[in-house]
Chain A
Amino acid sequence: MRFLLLNHAQNAYQSLRSSRVRSFLTMLGVTIGIASITAILALSSGASKIISDQISSVGGNIAVIRPGTTTDPIASITQSGLNRDYAASTLTEADITYITNITNVRSIAPLMVLSGTIKADSVAPINSPIVASTPSLADISNLQLREGQFLDNGINQNVVVVGSDLSVNVFGTESSIGRILSIHNQSFTVIGILKKLNDPMNYNSVDFDNTAIINFASGKKLNNNVAQIQQINVKTKPDTDLKATISDISKALVNSHAGEHDFSILTGEQIAKPTSQLFYAIAGGSTAIAAVSLIVGGIGIMNIMLVTVAERTREIGIRKALGASNSDISWQFLIESLAISLGGGISGYICGYILAFGISHFLTFDPAFSWEIVAIALTISVVMGTLFGLYPAMRAARKDPIESLYQV
């Protein structure tokens, strides 16, 4: 074996070069499959990275409490993070008080997302969310103001902070301080306009550029005096143990929920999992296509390898007569099919990134590079080369030397 591996690699290179078009076409099948998988992974990890960057940019000491127990990562991917449209939330106003009293919690912002019409000069697009929260949201979610001020506990009137896109949508201008906005047919005075963030993907699942942020109390009033909390953002004091604080919060909440563990507390990477269903539907669909094209590519490899084996029957006979053992022959062909699939894998990886950068032109985030994607692309191609190369290689090894030698 020892030197043979290198030798087989040289041999494979030579034989693939001698039939360039054929090798290229066979590799293409693998390339397409690997390229689409790479593109999907690069984009989805780019999306996750954006959110985890947001969290680390505010210090990394953030926990998010959501109703329901979706600790299963798959479920939290496939179900939208905030079941805001249907079920009643298990989080209550009382919970907010409990959490606020925990020692290491610095600030806390409940998030109550309402749907309703926002209008002034013109009606805002239907998907513009109304968020009811507390002043600390600005600190926790790192919201910065372009003009005016954020919500303040001192102001009890109906006031609203609008996102820059929403301002343009309803008032036709970005400078709308002091103007009146109607939400659910109630009048709100604009006191601040957010700086354009341009990141519709974040752990609040809210596109702040299109949002109207109102006081928690006003939000409750709009919702028939029921606090429907979809998410509670908690920021702990710097340099404290986040884990310990989380277990404190967990204990406090279980207590207040009469022993029921009907909420989940997410931190760091868990929050970073993008919650957009559409994104995952697209990713799932393209993964399926990629899988099909990989299988087709693999069948292509097997087909070409069978042809190669048939073409080289005589060579197999010669090699056996000259002292090649069966395993020498099967390695020779296995390595050739591995070379095809690895070549396809590497070019697929490169094409995948080109594709991902192309797509990211239309998205708000860039694809991410990580060694996991390289590992996945290479592993898939090696597995494919082996899987689909094994049968032709075994067939080659089993050929009878005499019949092979005297084949015309």
Chain B
Amino acid sequence: MADVTIPPVIHLRGLEKRFGIGDAEHSAIDHINLTIKKGEFVAIMGPSGCGKTTLLNILGLLDRSFDGDYELDGQSVDTISKRKQARIRSQQIGFVFQNFNLVPRLSVIENVALPLIYKGIIRTKRLKIASEILRNFHLNEREYYMPHQLSGGQTQRVAIARALVNEPSIILADEPTGNLDSRASHIIMEELSDLHKRGNTIIMVTHNPRLTTYASRVITMLDGRIDTDTKSHIAPQKNRRHKKPVRKTKRNKK
């Protein structure tokens, strides 16, 4: 019963995200109920346009315009101020993007040190921390390379190093191996699964079914809904406090 006393890291109730207005309106996310506990490695699968990335953006507090409830560490996101949300992004959430998203005009070490700026750490200390983390990724020889001088695999490892430099509890990865060959993908996935073993919560969006073997839980999405879930926590929690009837409950079972 541990998961009753400790609030889940992420708890979604009736989450809905719509785009467009009037006739053109469609739901990218259609009433999703989802609970993710600390230390889970969740892989989210599904075809393009099913709302995976939208979901990830909402989880990462980048997208604030949605309906429904999102509780992060037991606190409703609606009640958190913008500034506070930025601080949460800075201290608790690490992002890994498909297209790496390094800042092209900054060197590798400066890219890795970037999140530390917003934690208010002074420059020399930032670079020291960044250098240490790059050593863990065997990239310490590339510290002063520019991003365009790196291979795809190296770039993504830099991006992961950057996501980890703040020691976040949640790591959100949007197709982290999207553009990489299988060998580079394997290295990246080993890194992620290593992080998972150290107790981090990882939520990864992917196209590749082979990568789901690293995950402890696999969710497939279809048309903005959760289609299958290898381990569902929703049913019991929904009964605890239900504000509105939740549709598609049967879809979440399996």
Q: Which residues of A are in contact with B by a Cβ distance under 8 Å?
A: 2-4, 6-7, 10, 14-15, 18, 314-315, 317-328, 401-402, 405
Which has the most chain B C-beta neighbours within 10 Å: A317, A322, A326, A401?
Answer: A322
CA distance A315 to B102 in the complex (A): 8
**Contact A318 B103, beta carbon cutoff 8 Å:** yes
Residues of B72-92 whose CB lies within 8 A of A: 82-83, 86-87, 89-91
Chain B: which residue is nearest A328 at the CB level? B118
The listed residue (A4, A319, A321, A326) touching B60 by CB distance below 8 A is A321
16 further contact pairs, Cβ within 8 A, besides A323-B119, A327-B83:
A4-B118, A6-B123, A10-B123, A319-B114, A320-B89, A321-B60, A321-B89, A322-B89, A322-B115, A323-B118, A323-B166, A324-B86, A325-B82, A326-B83, A402-B63, A405-B97
A29 to B10, CA, bound (A): 53
A323 touches B105 (CB 8 A): no
A-B contact list, 29 entries, CB within 8 Å: A3-B120, A3-B121, A3-B122, A4-B120, A6-B123, A10-B123, A14-B106, A315-B105, A318-B103, A319-B103, A319-B118, A320-B62, A320-B86, A320-B89, A321-B62, A322-B89, A322-B90, A322-B95, A323-B87, A323-B90, A323-B115, A323-B166, A326-B83, A326-B86, A328-B118, A401-B62, A402-B62, A402-B63, A405-B97
Docked pose: A14 CA to B106 CA in angstroms: 9
CB-CB under 8 A for A325 and B123, given A320-B62, A401-B62, A402-B63: no
The smallest C-beta distance from A310 to any residue of chain B, in angstroms, reads 15
Q: How far is the CA of A7 from the CA of B124 in the complex (A)?
A: 11
Nearest chain-B residue to A10 (Cβ)? B123
With a cutoff of 8 Å between Cβ atoms, the chain A residues found around residue B120 in the complex are 2-4
Contacting residues, chain A, for B82 (C-beta < 8 A): 325-326
Most buried by A among B62, B117, B118: B117
Nearest CB in chain A to that of B122: its residue: A3
B162 within 8 A of A: yes
Which residues on B sit within 8 Å (CB–CB) of A401? 62
- B216 contacts chain A at the CB level, 8 A cutoff: no
Q: Are B63 and A322 in contact (CB under 8 A)?
A: no
Q: Quick check: is B237 within 8 A (CB to CB) of the other chain?
A: no
A333 to chain B, nearest CB (A): 14
How long is the Cα–Cα vector from A405 to B102 in the complex, in angstroms? 11
| Across-interface contacts of B232 in A (CB, < 8 A) | none
Q: Which residues on B sit within 8 Å (CB–CB) of A328?
A: 86, 118
B57 at the interface (CB under 8 A from A): yes
In the complex, whether B179 has a CB less than 8 A from a CB of chain A is no
Bound form: Cα–Cα A332–B105 in Å: 15
- Nearest A residue (CB) for B168: A323
Identify the closest chain A residue to B119 (Cβ).
A323
A15 to B110, CA, bound (A): 13
> Which 7 residue pairs of A and B lie closest in terms of their CB atoms, listed nearest first?
A323-B90, A325-B86, A323-B118, A322-B115, A323-B89, A401-B62, A321-B95
Chain B CB count within 10 A is highest, among A315, A323, A325, for A323
CA distance A327 to B62 in the complex (A): 16
Let me know if A322 and B118 touch, CB within 8 A. Answer: yes
Q: Report which of B91, B101, B119 forms a contact with A318, defined as CB distance below 8 A.
A: B101
Q: A324–B120 Cα gap in the complex (Å)? A: 11
Give chain A residues whose Cβ lies under 8 Å from the Cβ of B91. Answer: 323
Evaluate contact between B57 and A4: CB separation under 8 angstroms.
Answer: no
Roughly how many angstroms separate A15 CA and B104 CA in the complex, as a whole number? 11
A380 to B114: give the CA distance in the assembly, Å.
33
A166 CA to B176 CA in the complex, in Å? 91
- Name the distance in Å between A404's Cβ and chain B's nearest Cβ: 10
Asked whether B101 lies within 8 Å of A405 as measured between CB atoms, the reply is yes
The answer to whether B103 touches A7, judged by C-beta atoms less than 8 angstroms apart, is: no
A21 CB to nearest chain B CB (Å): 16
B101 to chain A: which residues have CB within 8 Å?
314, 317-318, 321, 405
Closest chain A residue to B81, Cβ basis: A325
What chain B residues lie within 8 Å of A317 (beta carbons)?
Answer: 101
Given A15-B105, A402-B63, A405-B97; A322-B114 close (CB under 8 Å): yes
* Residues of the B chain whose Cβ atoms lie less than 8 Å from the Cβ of A6: 123
Find the B residue at minimum CB distance from A405. B101
A7 touches B95 (CB 8 A): no
Q: Measured between alpha carbons, how far is A6 from B106 in the docked complex, in Å?
A: 17
Residues of A contacting B89 with CB < 8 Å?
Answer: 320-323
A295 to chain B, nearest CB (A): 30
- Please give the distance in Å from A281's CB to the nearest CB on chain B: 49
Cβ of B220 to closest chain A Cβ, rounded Å: 23
B189 CB → nearest A CB, Å: 22
With a CB–CB cut-off of 8 A, which chain A residues contact B117?
4, 7, 324
Residues of chain A lying within 8 A (CB to CB) of residue B102: 318
B122 contact set on A, CB distance < 8 A: 3
Among B60, B97, B105, find the residue whose CB has the most chain A CB atoms closer than 10 A. B105
CB distance from A150 to the nearest CB of B (A): 72
CA distance A325 to B86 in the complex (A): 5
Which residue of B has the minimal Cβ distance to A324? Answer: B118
Residue from the set A2, A6, A7, A317 with the largest chain B CB neighbour count within 10 Å? A7
Cα A41 to Cα B101 in complex, Å, equals 50
Q: How far is the CA of A320 from the CA of B121 in the complex (A)?
A: 17
Task: Determine the distance from Cα of A323 to Cα of B123 in the docked complex, in whole angstroms.
Answer: 17
Give the complex CA separation of A328 and B118 in angstroms. Answer: 8
Q: Of A3, A326, A328, which is in contact with the most chain B CB atoms at under 10 Å from its CB?
A: A3
CB-CB nearest in chain B for A17: B105
CA distance A210 to B31 in the complex (A): 96
